[in-house]
């Protein structure tokens, strides 16, 4: 009777091994969950991402085949089989997702850590403020001093304050000749603040934010556009 009951549980709880299309859909769901956690395979370089993605797919498939019994499972119950058969389908999938996410994090996080260190070393050890005396000079000076003292959190706070003030002032200007002259002066300040902020993000090992900031600068009219493009190419 015990064997018949176990076979009945297997029949009711087992699910067929999924085909490639179904596995791809489930892997995409895992990828979406990882994105919500701040981990994206798109952050990997092209020559690395496909290798890591395929490796994770294979591992996930192996995990699912282990967790979900197959038609070829032995009819003789073992301790391992009993443990698997007692799990509901939802529980088995929860285990699969958790293990797959752990594997993906184990692959991606060390890679991101390497890039963070590269960005940290790429950014200069010290900054020097430019000679202009604009409206944000005092804040910018505080930011530079904090950066040079390795207090990157404080430097980012000062730079973000300066950026917000400059953007607000620029938005209030009109299109007359005088306002256009003032706007250009403020834009020169803003370009420098944005560049210093990107360097500070690199020093603070904030990979995603640094990459986004550098990309925005590289696609703008900033005088630092070429330097930002070079940083993206050499570091990220």
Give per-residue pLDDT as tens, 118-168. Answer: 888 899 999 876 655 566 778 888 999 999 999 999 999 999 999 999 999
CATH number of the domain enclosing 160: 1.25.40
pLDDT at 43: 47
**Contact, 56 vs 103, CB < 8 A?**
yes
The span from the CA of 76 to the CA of 21, in Å, is 32
Is the pTM of the predicted complex or chain greater than 0.85? no
Q: Which residues contact residue 161 at a Cβ distance below 8 angstroms, ignoring those fewer than 6 apart?
A: 139
């009711």: which residue's tokens?
Answer: 12
Chain centroid, CA 87 distance in Å: 33
61 and 128 co-located in one domain? no
129 and 225 co-located in one domain? yes
How many structural domains is the chain composed of? Answer: 2
116 and 129 co-located in one domain? no
DSSP one-letter code for 18: P
% of the chain at pLDDT higher than 70: 48
103 and 130 co-located in one domain? no
Q: What is the rounded average pLDDT of the residues 51-69?
A: 59
12 and 115 co-located in one domain? yes
Residue 65 has pLDDT above 80, yes or no: no
Which of residues 121, 156, 191 is at a domain's end? Answer: 121
pLDDT at 3: 47
What the block records as the tokens of 104 is 């993906």
- Tell me the backbone φ, ψ of residue 162, rounded to 5 degrees: -65, -40
Which of residues 83, 101, 121 is at a domain's end? Answer: 121
pLDDT digits (tens, 9 = 90+) for 179-221: 999 999 999 999 999 999 999 999 999 999 999 999 999 999 9
pLDDT digits (tens, 9 = 90+) for 86-127: 456 666 666 666 666 666 665 555 556 666 778 888 999 998
DSSP one-letter code for 71: T
127 and 117 co-located in one domain? no
156 and 197 co-located in one domain? yes
Q: What is the rounded average pLDDT of the residues 31-47?
A: 55
pLDDT digits (tens, 9 = 90+) for 170-184: 999 998 999 999 999
What the block records as the tokens of 52 is 């890591």
Which of residues 121, 147, 162 is at a domain's end? Answer: 121
Q: What is the rounded average pLDDT of the residues 33-59?
A: 56
Higher pLDDT among residues 37 and 234, named by residue: 234
What the block records as the tokens of 212 is 């986004």
Mean pLDDT, rounded, of the chain: 74
The span from the CA of 23 to the CA of 30, in Å, is 11
180 and 202 co-located in one domain? yes
115 and 128 co-located in one domain? no
**Contact, 207 vs 119, CB < 8 A?**
yes
pLDDT digits (tens, 9 = 90+) for 10-30: 455 444 545 566 666 666 776
**Contact, 91 vs 139, CB < 8 A?**
no
């706070």: which residue's tokens?
Answer: 157
The span from the CA of 92 to the CA of 100, in Å, is 12
Q: Which long-range contacts (CB under 8 A, 24 or more apart) does 140-149 make?
A: 140/189, 140/192, 140/193, 140/196, 143/193, 143/196, 143/200, 144/196, 147/196, 147/199, 147/200, 147/203
pLDDT at 14: 46
Q: What is the rounded average pLDDT of the residues 43-60?
A: 56
Give the domain range for residue 54: 2-121
58 and 75 co-located in one domain? yes
149 and 180 co-located in one domain? yes
Burial of 216: CB neighbours in 10 Å, binned 0-12, 13-18, 19+: middle
67 and 26 co-located in one domain? yes
């Amino acid at each position: 009777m015990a064997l018949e009951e176990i076979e009945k549980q297997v029949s009711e709880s087992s699910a067929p091994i999924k085909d490639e299309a179904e596995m791809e859909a489930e892997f995409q769901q895992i990828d979406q969950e990882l994105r919500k956690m701040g981990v994206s395979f798109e952050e990997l370089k092209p020559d690395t991402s496909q290798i890591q993605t395929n490796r994770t797919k294979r591992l996930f498939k192996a995990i699912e085949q282990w967790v979900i019994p197959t038609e070829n499972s032995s009819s003789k119950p073992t301790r391992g089989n009993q443990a698997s058969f007692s799990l509901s389908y939802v529980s088995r999938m929860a285990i699969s997702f958790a293990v797959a996410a752990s594997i993906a994090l184990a692959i991606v996080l060390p890679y991101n850590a390497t890039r963070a260190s590269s960005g940290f070393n790429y950014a200069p050890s010290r900054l020097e403020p430019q000679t202009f005396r604009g409206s944000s000079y005092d804040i910018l000076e505080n930011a530079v001093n904090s950066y040079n003292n390795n207090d990157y959190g404080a430097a980012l706070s000062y730079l973000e304050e300066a950026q917000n003030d400059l953007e607000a002032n620029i938005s209030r200007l009109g299109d007359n000749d005088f306002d256009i002259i003032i706007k250009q002066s403020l834009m020169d300040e803003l370009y420098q603040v944005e560049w210093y902020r990107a360097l500070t993000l690199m020093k603070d090992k904030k990979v995603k934010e640094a990459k986004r900031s550098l990309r925005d600068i590289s696609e703008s009219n900033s005088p630092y556009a070429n330097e930002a493009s070079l940083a993206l190419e050499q570091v990220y």
